[in-house]
Structure 1
Amino acid sequence: MANSSKIAKIIKIRAISAIWIIPIITAIVGLWIIYAHFADRGTTFTLIANDANGIIAGKTVIKNRSVDVGIVDEVTLSDDYQKVVIKGRIYNDMEPLLKNDSIFWVVKPEIGRDGVTGLGTILSGVYIELASGNDTHSFKNNPFILSDNPPLSDPSIKGIRLNLESDQSGVVPRGAKVMFRGYHVGNVETSQFNVDARKMKYQVFITKPYDALVTENVRFWKEGGINLSLSSRGASLDVPSLDVLMSGGISFDLPDGAKLGQPAKQHDVYKLYEDKKSIQDSQYTEYKEFLIMITDSISGLIEGAPVEYHGIRLGTVSKVPFYTAEMLKEKSILNQKVPILIRIEPDRLSELVDDKIDIAALIMEEQKNGLRASLKTSNLFTGALFIDLDFYPELKSKYDKKLANQYGYNIIQTTSTGFAQIQAKILQLLDNFNNLPLNSTITQFNKSLESSERLMQSLNQIMASKEMQNMPKDLQKAIRSLNETMKGLQPGSQLNTQMNESLQKIQQMMDELTPLLNTLNNKSNALIFSAPNKKDQEPKARGNK
């Protein structure tokens, strides 16, 4: 029997063992978790801040309208150690809130002009508030500035932002109102002092639709003070609202008679004027300068005072006083006249007449007919003065053409008038009274009384003599009448006493009026406001010169 054998065949099984199913599924789940984690992290961004007070990585949340939209991942210092760099991220479903012009600020407990804010952070800790912007471009991931203060206007609100510059004293604080004719239309967003330009610079935001009110010809001015004005029409008191009075504000409007002009553009620059009165003069940019030489006191005349003709304003006082190097070389001029620079503004007349008038040339020509400049009082309460142009026919012959131009300026010749002229006449009257020989008159009067007393004694002797009876009756009657008259002039009589009292009162009145007129000459409004007290002279020590 033959041996038979079977050979086993080896078959390679390529199937994966079931034991590997669990690790593979675990790896897939892990990868999915990792992918989901990074996919749900959202968009990262960077914030730059001055400090990180209260901000903690992994705990400080980012909110929008009290809803959590992100979280702070990392807080570090910048490479130069001068700033704080904060890494944050916005959740995936909140990414549309993050735009190139978004604004971030820290919310914390704070007491301000609007009251107490951020009380909810006392227990929960500070958080970062996000205000979405209007930028429609794709996110560039540029660093944002983390502010300590919330914005005064939401970035989503439409309007116009303007820059204002002021070289005046006083600061309008951040958050102050911007008004148009008393109506609140915006706010001051930033307020800072530029050291290089030495000016205050403000950024204001005016909301839509009020941004249409801002054109190239509007003027901005400060609000906040109580304005009391006194004029020929009476007294006017302008008191702003309480919040504007306490914190200040800015108003804008067109000057009277000005045209609207073109609409303003974003971040246009405007000048901030001191008050509403200043904006009216700002539109007169064309002018002709004149020099006037004043002999009267200029106390009460300030820059900006009007130059008028019969109540019609023609210009403005530019410099008080105005000295050039050439003037100062002539020392004699300092003892005679005070130079004042004025501006004649022809556009002021264009509001009254349609025809173009060369008012500067007309002023020079009409001086031949007696046109002169003089100081006049515009307000007795304040002692304010202005320049008045008027005709004085008696001065025609005194016009000196050689004086029409001096020191490089056209000259308007002057005359003394108004209150200064009245003072001069009163002082002249007092001088005349002082020159009267009152003392010698009283002496002569006393001598006359002594003579009358001797005459009275003689008359008494005649009337007591026998010859009196032999005189004609008419002569006796005349002597008796003369005797009665002389009795009225004797010392102790009523007429004598009254005459002496009258002479003494006149002398006393002259003594009292003299210092009064001297005071009025130095300060024209001293009848209303007390003149400044003069310091008593200090006695010098023996031996000092």
Structure 2
Amino acid sequence: MTDNATIKPTTRISKVWVIPILALLVGAWMVYYQWQNQGPLITIEMSSASGIEINKTPIKVRDLEVGQVKKIELKPELDGVIVTARLEKSAARLLNENTRFWLVAPRVSFSEVSGLNTLLSGSFIAMTAEPGETELDHFVALERPPVTPPGTPGLHVKLSSATDDLTYKPGDTIIYKGFKVGEFEEVNFDVDLGKIEYRAFIHAPYHKLIDESTRFWNVSGVKLQLASNGLTIQTGSLETLLANGVTFGNPQGDAKGKPIEKNASFIIYGDYDAAADERFGYAAQYVLLIDESVRGLTVGAPVEYRGLQIGKVAAINSDQIELGSLLDDAYPIPVLLNIYPGKARLEDSEEGLTFLRNRLSRWIHKDLRATLRMGNVLTGGLYVDLQHVEQPKATRKLQVNGIDVIPTVSSEFTQLTQKADAILDKMNALPLEALIEDITNVVATLKAAAKSVDATSQKFDKTISAFDTDKLNGQIQHSLNAFEELLQHYSEGGLSKAEIAETVDSLQETLRSVQPLLMQLNRTPNGLIFSDNAEINIQPRVKENNQ
């Protein structure tokens, strides 16, 4: 009898599969652990990928590696690259609105030398570690490293220029009384507002000097001021001589304000005077109608009264004042003035402003006039001088667009120019052609007279040369000898002086006795022949006095 084999299906798993299953479980656990503990994936917009390598370039915070570059691709607009990086999970809390990324590479410029340590280690992407409120995963990298290292104690502020000609770049200094206390970090241009904004940092403990009343002003380069007391030169520090810079403070007369918060905004003024003017909250506006040239007058030029500044020029030919077209006949150029009661030793309040308006209104009606004067001979800059004029021309109260007008008088230079023009006009009115013709005739007559004198002189010379000088000298000598003999005869035996006098007296007596006869002959020439017709000549006699 044969036994039949019984075939039964097996349900046992081979031990060979234990190892692959364990490897699969370990791999799945590792994937889960990696997925569970991996950090966020972020994207960073950069201008170029210079110095960046995939899976090699690290991302560091305070020189600690917290991520790595995983991907680099071009932006859709082809104006840069997008770098994709994976950060560690511990660094996820650092990704907020205050986070900044930048490429650290060797950099040498006028204002800095940085990143030299990457010459051997290679470039890397650095990021800041600052707390924030909003989580982000997309960032725009900075073009250059921030000036202030992250975590530096101090205060960040926002600055903007009061004028378009004040521009600064990252790294420019902020000084206080000659000490460097901060620097500009970022520069942004608002296209919509057409305004440049700056982000600056003030180091501790100098940030405690800034309050709500603080003003910032420019101290770049060298400022020359030529005044009556001489030449004044103002400079900031060595940094501001080589590059731009600003300073800050509370202008004289300002009380200390309240402390400020982080990222408070301030305006950078052109100089200290412009910053100090901003502390005045009240100003009276007036307008000048200038008939002459305003070349040399600028916005911000001082308005002075008796040599003291009480205001400034707010606008020149402003659109706020409508007077027609500049090409119209007799178009006056409007100049808008701001006069501050605070600068006139009045209260900076509504009461002070009202008092200032009332006083100036009376003066304008009486004799207050405005004149453009030259404040600096070298630059030709003008300022507005308010003065009381003797016997001014009568004027009525005038307003333009609701703003009172201060009458003007010509400046001294303009008056001199007008007088010179009047003199030139009179000279032009002279009959110069007839005068020149008369002068030509006189000159010709003088030339003819000169020729005649020259001919006469030549004839005289010939006449003089014809004289026999030797013979003339001999005759003169002979006359002198004869005169000498006469004098000698007189001194040796001739008539004496007494005898000559006696002879002269006798001659005079004879003439007196003959005088009646001569008179008779003068009346009757025939008296000597016909004596009967002789008239009796009665001679008056002097009455004799009885003794």
TM-score (norm: length of structure 2): 0.63
Verify: 1:347 aligned to 2:342, yes or no.
yes
Q: Of the candidates 60, 63, 70, which is equivalent to residue 63 of structure 1?
A: 60
Cα distance 1:33–1:123, how it changes in 2: closer, same or farther (>3 A)? farther
Unaligned segments of structure 2, at least 5 residues: 1-11, 450-547
Distance 1:378 1:116 in 2: 45
Cα distance 1:38–1:433, how it changes in 2: closer, same or farther (>3 A)? closer
Does the CA contact (< 8 Å) of 1:103 and 1:155 recur in 2?
Answer: no
Distance 2:259 2:68 in 1: 43
Identity of aligned residues (%): 27
**SS state of the match for residue 247, structure 2?**
strand
Q: Shift of the alpha carbon at 1:229?
A: 1.0
Q: Of the candidates 385, 389, 393, which is equivalent to residue 386 of structure 2?
A: 389
Alignment-mate amino acid for residue 228 of structure 1: L
Q: Shift of the alpha carbon at 1:46?
A: 1.9
Does the CA contact (< 8 Å) of 1:327 and 1:333 recur in 2?
Answer: no
Verify: 1:358 aligned to 2:355, yes or no.
yes
Please list the CA deviations of residues 509-543 of structure 1 after superposition, one character each: whole Å capped at 9, or x if unmatched. xxxxxxxxxxxxxxxxxxxxxxxxxxxxxxxxxxx
Q: Of the candidates 387, 403, 412, which is equivalent to residue 409 of structure 1?
A: 403
Does the CA contact (< 8 Å) of 1:187 and 1:205 recur in 2?
Answer: yes
Equivalent in the alignment of 1:171: 167
Write out aligned runs for 1:321-332 (5 A): 321=317, 324-328=321-325, 331-332=328-329
Equivalent in the alignment of 1:485: none
Equivalent in the alignment of 1:378: 375
Q: Shift of the alpha carbon at 1:49?
A: 2.7
TM-score (norm: length of structure 1): 0.64
Write out aligned runs for 1:145-544 (5 A): 145-166=140-161, 167-169=163-165, 171-295=167-291, 297-321=293-317, 324-328=321-325, 331-334=328-331, 338-350=333-345, 356=352, 358-395=355-392, 398-401=393-396, 403-405=397-399, 408-416=402-410, 418-422=412-416
Q: Shift of the alpha carbon at 1:290?
A: 2.2
Unaligned segments of structure 1, at least 5 residues: 1-15, 451-545
Does the CA contact (< 8 Å) of 1:175 and 1:189 recur in 2?
Answer: yes
Cα distance 1:115–1:373, how it changes in 2: closer, same or farther (>3 A)? closer
Distance 1:320 1:305 in 2: 11
Distance 1:378 1:390 in 2: 15
Distance 1:119 1:308 in 2: 56
**SS state of the match for residue 55, structure 2?**
coil
Q: Shift of the alpha carbon at 1:187?
A: 1.8
Alignment-mate amino acid for residue 230 of structure 1: L
Q: Shift of the alpha carbon at 1:236?
A: 1.1
Please list the CA deviations of residues 72-91 of structure 1 after superposition, one character each: whole Å capped at 9, or x if unmatched. 4555678999752423233x
Does the CA contact (< 8 Å) of 1:103 and 1:133 recur in 2?
Answer: no
Equivalent in the alignment of 1:126: 123
Please list the CA deviations of residues 355-393 of structure 1 after superposition, one character each: whole Å capped at 9, or x if unmatched. 836122212212444222223332233333222222234
Cα distance 1:32–1:229, how it changes in 2: closer, same or farther (>3 A)? same
Please list the CA deviations of residues 292-332 of structure 1 after superposition, one character each: whole Å capped at 9, or x if unmatched. 34455544333322222211222222333468544549955
Q: Of the candidates 110, 124, 131, which is equivalent to residue 113 of structure 1?
A: 110
Cα distance 1:122–1:39, how it changes in 2: closer, same or farther (>3 A)? same
Q: Shift of the alpha carbon at 1:141?
A: 6.8
Distance 2:327 2:28 in 1: 97
Cα distance 1:399–1:180, how it changes in 2: closer, same or farther (>3 A)? same
**SS state of the match for residue 51, structure 2?**
coil
Distance 2:442 2:308 in 1: 58
Distance 1:430 1:78 in 2: 73
Please list the CA deviations of residues 455-500 of structure 1 after superposition, one character each: whole Å capped at 9, or x if unmatched. xxxxxxxxxxxxxxxxxxxxxxxxxxxxxxxxxxxxxxxxxxxxxx
Alignment-mate amino acid for residue 193 of structure 1: F
Distance 1:17 1:322 in 2: 97
